[in-house]
Structure 1
Amino acid sequence: MNKKLCAVLIAGLLSASAHAFEPFAIRDIRVEGIQRTEAGTVFTYLPVKVGDTLTSEKASQSIKALFATGFFKDVRVEVEGDVMVLILQERPAIAKIDFVGMKEFEKDPILKAMKDMGLSETQIFDRALLDRAEQELKRQYLTKGKYGVQITTTVTPLERNRVGINFNITEGESAKIKAINIVGVQAFKEKDLLELFELSTPGWLSWYTKNDQYSRQKLSADLEKLRSYYMNRGYLEFAVDSTQVSISPDKQDIYITVNISEGDRYQISSIKLAGDLILPEAEIRKLVPLKPGQVFSREELNNTTKRITDRLSDQGYAFANVNASPELDKEKKQVAFTIFVDPGKRVYVRRINVTGNTRTRDEVIRREMRQMEGGWYNAEQVTLSKQRVDKLGYFADVTVETPPVPGTADQVDVNLNVTEKPTGNIMLGAGFSQSEKVMLSGSISQNNIFGSGKHLTLGLNTSKTNRNLSLSYTDPYFTIDGISQGFDVYHRTYEPTTIDVGDYKTASTGAGIRFGFPISERESIGVGLTLDHTKITTYDSSPQRYIDFVDKYGSSNITIPLTINWTSDGKDSYIFPTTGTYQRAGLELALPGGDLKYWKLSYQYQRFFPISKSLTLMVNGDFGYGDGYGGQDGLPFYKNYYVGGINSVRGYAASSLGPVDAKYEDERLGGNRKIVGNAELLWGLPGYDKSLRMGVFFDIGQTFGPGQKIKTDDFRASTGVSLAWISPVGPLKFSIAAPLNDKPGDDTETFQFQLGSTF
């Protein structure tokens, strides 16, 4: 049987001509040599079909088309009579990919990255892709400082035209930074400058920070810190001339050398304003803190241009351009600045777009917006809108963008994107004392019912100490202008037999209504009225003052508490604030007409100071004072203040601080005055800034009884470390504390926690 060879393997020979043959009409096309590929798949890639005339040119085109699929490593076309015969040799498929000796990385992410580049199980094997994957894997090791890594790739043929790929890896040790030198330093001490760097030689925390491993990105950031340090201290012409990074022959030690030119130190000779100022010059001058005679600071100059830009943005000039142009007098070492102001066109907001809310209704978010559609753009109002949406507590993240409207020069859109989080909570609280005492509490709440922004809480507590069932409902927008309304119904039984409080039992049943009135963007006043019935039970072991109170005022009484509170919330975030102030003052007054008459005043002041991008200082003060009136002798004892525990003075058991009973010295009576202070340095962990915070704290506080003098020796203090985590299962709070001045009889606790679970 005569066959004419028309083409051969084309790897590198695609330009070669096929053997000449007489053109003929194709009666049939036959495919030989395939194992996995379907014949129909081959036909879809052919430029010819049955009935076409096959020529040498079309045969060559067929060979090229089949090679282009990447499925075959050999393609031949032969002619048998008027039949076109395709003889194919398939590329092998990848049966498995395995790694030996890989400890630095998890296997699954590496496999996924290789799959993204086309190298994965069941895919056609391609040697070029394998080489590329090997180089990329090696590059990943280099980013981890493992410069001595060795990777050997083995391809093993398997049955059914398959291959197994094995990466044999010898990771070696990570190279460490042996030394960092800054050449050219004269104005400052080199060691002080090196403290600015994130990169460092090995230290006791290097195992965690990895800062002793070289990273090009980290070095670039460190050089920028160095540049800022000099330029904020007057060195206007400072420059980094070059950097050299070298590695030892054994690839274990890295040496970094930075060559700098400090230049001269400049003072400011004058500050001028130019351009279209829009606002009165005197008003803009107030935004310029730099004065003639001061040492130049790039940071202050940047802050100045930003203040002016922000001020113009508040007037609707969203695209204002403010630049400072320097004039150097090198002989006098002085610099004069002219600040050019170009406000551009005044901009208004075309549309506010809300995205990301799958449960929460648009209206719940939009009613918090203070920037209005169709109004002039106001940067301050946009920022305030973002903060108000964030403080709803329904979202894990809130971002705002203000892109210009395409085709216009005076319009922007405000795009508000939210990331929703679970707003239902099952809250659990627990504490363990040194004497094996346990306290449990819980509640079920939904802060965003059906996405409406309304709150519903069912409090259910089954601990031996505190058993209650309560239902609370709040509509934050009872009226369109933001007046809120709420209802509370409860039945509570309190019997502090498992904590250090005098023996007694109360059973309270009541209902109340409350309203909230906004008086500014960050301030509100709340008013509530409750009808309460409380039954008191005392025992032979009860403190004498408890027994005396019941004898005088009865074991069952009705009160009508009126509550009035003022709240000012200027924090920048609901979950983890970094700046701003929170204040709350409240009055609880038992109105005439009830069996008891008393009042309680409270005040809380909390402030957050941003120390740096990662550090925040929180200070908190919490004060309370109460008494009787209209002939009543002091507060009802079950209304006393108690201090101690994870939410007041950590390191001491809950409610364990304050006056003690004269007969039972291990039982606390509480007090009619409370003073608590907290200071805490907080920081977020890398990768968890939005959900996890650690802190170092100092707590101090105490309660004082009627007539008891407030003495500094009576206060209790503690210090320790804390952790707060908005975890996938809910908010968690932990503390490890050491009391600083505990005295005999104090009930101390080293470890305390509060946990919750979302649903």
Structure 2
Amino acid sequence: MQPIAQIFCSKTKQLLLLLIVITALPQFAAAAVFQIADIRVEGLQRIAPGTVFNYLPIQVGDTVAEDVTGGIIRALYKTGFFDDVRVERDGNVLVLWVRERPAIAEIKIVGNKDIETEALNTALADIGLKEGRVFNRSVLDRIEQELERQYFARGKYGVLIQSTISPLERNRVSIHIDVIEGLTARIKQINIIGNQAFTTEELSKKFKLGITRWNSFYSKNDQYSKQKLAGDLETLRSFYLDRGYIKFDIKSTQVSISADKKEIYIAIVIDEGQAFTISDIKLAGDPSVPAERLFPLIQLKRGDFFSRKATTESAERISGLLGDEGYAFANVNTVPEINEAAHQVAVTFFVDSGKRVYVRRLNMKGNTRTRDEVLRREMRQLETAWFSADLVRKSRERLQRLGYFEDVAIATPAVPGSADQVDIDVTVKEKPAGNLAAGIGFSQSQGILLNASITQNNFLGTGKRVAMAFNTSSSTSLYQIGYTNPYYTIDGISRGFNASYRETDFSKLIGANYSSNVGTTEMNFGLPIADNSRAGLGFRYQYTDFTAGDSSIAEQFVLDNGRRFSDYLISASYSNDTRDTAIFPTKGGLRTLAAEIAVPGSALQYYKVNYQEQRYVALTSRFIFSLTGNFAYGDGYGETTNLPFFENYYAGGPRSVRGWVANSIGPREIQTDDPIGGNLKMSGSFELFAPAPVGGEFEKSVRLGAFLDFGSVWAMEDSRLLTNTGFNFSDLRYSTGMSFTWLSPVGALSISLAYPLNEKDGDDTQVFQFGFGQTF
């Protein structure tokens, strides 16, 4: 047992040690926390210290503990500027040691052909790889993967992308991306397994994908795409569902590529099931419209094979009718009741009309320049009237046809707190309605063309049109001014005024040696007949000063009628325009009928009638068939025995029968052999259009065509001064060829290569024809 004195001594030592620790603890704590007197950054080369300070979570004067270094390091690493960051303390000074990431001095891309270098550089810059920026290896890795994906989408599965990073002075790097594209993999075979009702060949014709054909360079159907295959599978599913196979199923799809990555094989396993017929068709629910009006909209028959497409379209027609009747929120669902044993299906259309809705208010938005009334007068859906989906659609179409807006959107939100009211919100995006332009162009018939114009289609936001223009070429000079008010009356009757002066030298236009100076003043009216149809009526005074030259026809005309004429003409017209667009239309047509007559009391008494029709039919999503026909006739009456020859019609050239010199087809003067035109014209064209295989934005501005043109003009008068008078079908000229049209940013370029099919002695043919216009 220890003595009591030793125990007391040991306890005393422990007590003293504890006292010392307690006394020193505040001093240790004070040493771990300090106030920052200054911040020093070491290792910077290109980055300014101020940039670093902006990202720091602390600043001079803050009181911090030494354990905040983790937050500082994370904040600086997050900037992406540094490879290494260390934090130290020098007294009350916080010291940051950094090592900057290298900067990108240059980026070189070689070997790329399918994707342009400029497009690649733009894509790289968007991701963060650009000259002058900080280099990040992870970004380069992502870019390599994205490039591979882009090439895979183009069917180049053998693509190899190699990146080389070369260090340069001043902590910079050079990036060299070498692209070995390889060959495009082609679809070698598509196998459909499990089909019995239809052959593989019949089903494959429905696919966009397929084996290489003669036109694959254009259609690219032999280049595999995941998106295209998904679309083809949906097409296959729809094909069966529209023929009664409601249990059709695609079991699996397998895509494999050959070892050399040049050939692709696609296998599709399907289960057709049995074809089901329709046993019954029923209406259920609350249609709010008599069933007698709804059943004719259902294009299904008992005993026919079930069709998903016909069923869906029938439901849409019912919904559309209800929408036109004011039931804006109508809902139509189709429920098939399947009888597995009999392979039959009963189709029930459940109709929930909801409440009938009327329009509380029309709201116009986005029209900062155009007045509200200009928009409202085009609206076919009116306030306080029953809602009609058809009238809303027509209203939008009419607003788009004005040409004042880049985009027109119409929304029909429900009125808060009301179950039977909606508002019509019309939002437009205005585009400049005025145009100040000068231009230069060239055509083979008129040479160099100069023009200038000032046009305001929406003058002061009123919808009125004001225009002044002049056009001049080697053969013609035209000066013109016009004004049109499309809503002269509240019913949409338009009124316009025009004045013009034209000088024409026919020797440079068609070769005949005579000229004319014509001045006109005109007032015209337009009357809307229907949404797509319009009638017109015009009154024109025309003064003509005629110079004969050495043309025998012209000299004889001056002897019979004089050389100065004051004529008063009345014109009438009808037009019907159902085209989807005026430029490169794909469907619809344009029909125009126009007639004018110089009334009694005019120096010359004559009349002219012109009928023209254009039709466009979309054969596929890419190929458009066009049919154009034109018939025109004119003649004199009263004291004027024939149509004045300078009012004659002409044929031949880019706008008529391609392959012949402009205005060269038809009767000629016996004395000079110059074309003189005729008072009867017949022409037309059959043309197949397709977008050029260029892709991108050019696909909308470039169009190719294959055409067959025909036409001619005839002089129906009996004249000893003309050749080939009278009508004869054998006088028709035919040509075939190819056309090219490009709506370039500086004007329209049109080119045709035409081969005359029935050239005759004395004809002036021209295989290559073009025209170009430019604005600046």
TM-score band (shorter)?
A: 0.7 to 0.9
Instruction: State how far apart, in whole Å, the 2-side matches of 1:367 and 1:702 are.
Output: 45
Alignment counterpart, residue 584 of structure 1, candidates 578, 584, 592:
592
Does 2:641 match 1:633?
A: yes
When structure 1 is superposed on structure 2, of 249-258 and 480-489 the one drifting more is: 480-489
Residues 650-729 of structure 1 mapped to structure 2, 5 A cutoff = 650-664=658-672, 666-685=673-692, 686-687=695-696, 688=698, 690-706=700-716, 710-729=727-746
Following the alignment from structure 1 to structure 2, what is the Cα–Cα distance between the partners of residues 558 and 172?
A: 75
Closer, same or farther: CA 111–536 of 1 in aligned 2, 3 Å: closer
Pairs aligned (count) = 734
Q: Which residue of 2 aligns with 1:608?
A: 616
Which whole-Å deviations, capped at 9, do the CAs of 1:447-468 have from their partners, x for residues lacking one?
A: 5265644434445343343333
Tell me if 1:742 matches 2:759: yes
Q: Percent same amino acid among aligned pairs? A: 44
**Cα drift, residue 590 of structure 1:** 0.8
Unmatched segments (≥5 aa) in structure 2: 1-27, 718-724
- The corresponding residue for 2:411 is 402
CA distance in 2, matches of 1:171, 1:398: 41
Determine helix, strand or coil for the equivalent of 1:286: helix
Amino acid at match of 2:457: N
**Counterparts of 1:67 and 1:243 in 2: how far apart (Å)?**
46
Shift of the 447–745 alpha-carbon distance from structure 1 to 2, 3 Å rule, reads farther
Is residue 243 of structure 1 aligned with residue 243 of structure 2? Answer: no
Question: Are the aligned partners of 1:33 and 1:87 in contact in 2 as well (CA < 8 Å)?
Answer: yes
Report the equivalent of 1:623: 631
1:134 matched to 2:151? The reply is no
Q: 1:561 aligns with which of 564, 569, 572?
A: 569
Q: Deviations over 1:185-230 (max 9, x none)?
A: 3333323332322222233443344332211011111222222333
| Secondary structure in 1 matching 2:395 | helix
Shift of 1:744: 2.0
Q: RCO greater where, 1 or 2, for CA within 8 Å and sep 6 or more? A: 1
The answer to whether residue 606 in structure 2 is matched with residue 598 in structure 1 is yes
Contact 2:319–2:330, Cα closer than 8 Å, also in 1: yes
Residues 392, 40 of structure 1: CA spacing in aligned structure 2 closer, same or farther, 3 A cutoff?
Answer: closer
Amino acid in the other structure paired with 1:604? Q
Partner of 2:122: 112
Preserved CA contact (<8 Å) 1:692 1:723: yes
Letter in 2 for 1:590: A
Contact 2:552/2:671 (8 A) holds in 1:
no
SS of 1:532's equivalent? strand
The code of the aligned residue for 2:555 comes to I
TM-score (norm 2): 0.86
Separation in 1 of the partners of 2:580 and 2:90? 82
| CA gap 1:717/1:556 in 2 versus in 1, 3 angstroms | same
Residues 479-517 of structure 1 show CA distances to partners (whole Å, capped at 9, x for unaligned) of 443222222222223332135464332222232222222
Alpha carbons 1:31, 1:88 under 8 Å: kept: no
C-alpha separation in 1, matches of 2:67 and 2:288: 74
What amino acid sits opposite 1:299 in the alignment? K
Q: 2:35 aligns with which of 26, 43, 47?
A: 26
Cα deviation code 1:147-203 (max 9, x no counterpart)? 222223333333333333332332222222222222223333323332322222233
Q: CA deviation at 1:244?
A: 0.8
- The CA distance in 2 between the partners of 1:691 and 1:399, in whole Å, is 22
Whichever residue aligns with residue 179 of structure 2, its letter is I
Q: How does 1:320-469 map to 2 (within 5 A)?
A: 320-349=330-359, 364-372=374-382, 375-394=385-404, 398-402=407-411, 404=413, 410-418=421-429, 420=431, 424=435, 430-432=442-444, 438=447, 440=449, 442=451, 444=453, 446=455, 448=457, 450=459, 452=461, 453-469=463-479
Q: How has the CA–CA distance of structure 1 residues 651 and 111 changed in structure 2, closer, same or farther, with 3 Å as cutoff?
A: same
1:55-70 matched pairs, under 5 angstroms: 55-70=65-80
| Residue of structure 2 in register with 1:313 after alignment | 323
Residues of 2 paired with 1:412 and 1:194: CA distance? Answer: 48
Q: Distance in 1 between matches of 2:522 and 2:535?
A: 17
Partner SS state of residue 398, structure 2: helix
- Matching residue's letter, 1:533: Y
The RMSD of aligned alpha carbons is 3.2
Stretches of structure 1 lacking an aligned partner (at least 5 in a row): 1-18
Counterparts of 1:33-112 in structure 2, within 5 Å, are 33-35=42-44, 36-112=46-122
How far apart are the structure 1 equivalents of 2:730 and 2:546?
Answer: 34
Residues 441 and 636 of structure 1: is their aligned pair in 2 closer, same or farther, counting only changes over 3 Å?
A: farther
| Aligned mates of 2:222, 2:314 — CA distance in 1 | 37
Instruction: Tell me if the contact between 1:348 and 1:374 (Cα under 8 Å) persists in the aligned partners.
Output: yes
What amino acid maps onto 1:571 in structure 2? Answer: R
Give the AA of the match of 1:510.
T
Larger CA Rg, structure 1 vs 2: 2
User: What amino acid does structure 1 have at the position aligned with 2:422?
Assistant: Q
Correspondence 1:753 to 2:770:
yes
1:342–1:743: structure 2 CA closer, same or farther, 3 Å change rule? farther
Describe how 1:94-243 pairs up with structure 2 within 5 A. Answer: 94-243=104-253
Separation in 2, partners of 1:459, 1:37: 59
Q: Distance in 1 between matches of 2:280 and 2:726?
A: 59
1 CA distance for matches of 2:279 and 2:440?
63
**Cα offset for 1:399?**
4.6
- Superposed displacement of residue 723, structure 1: 3.6
TM-score, normalised via structure 1 length: 0.88
Q: What does the per-residue CA deviation read over 1:667-705, in whole Å, with 9 as the maximum and x for residues that have no partner?
A: 223222222223333344554565443333332222222
- 1:326, CA displacement in angstroms? 1.7
Task: Evaluate the alpha carbon distance shift between residue 442 and residue 84 of structure 1 in structure 2; reply closer, same or farther with a 3 A threshold.
Answer: closer
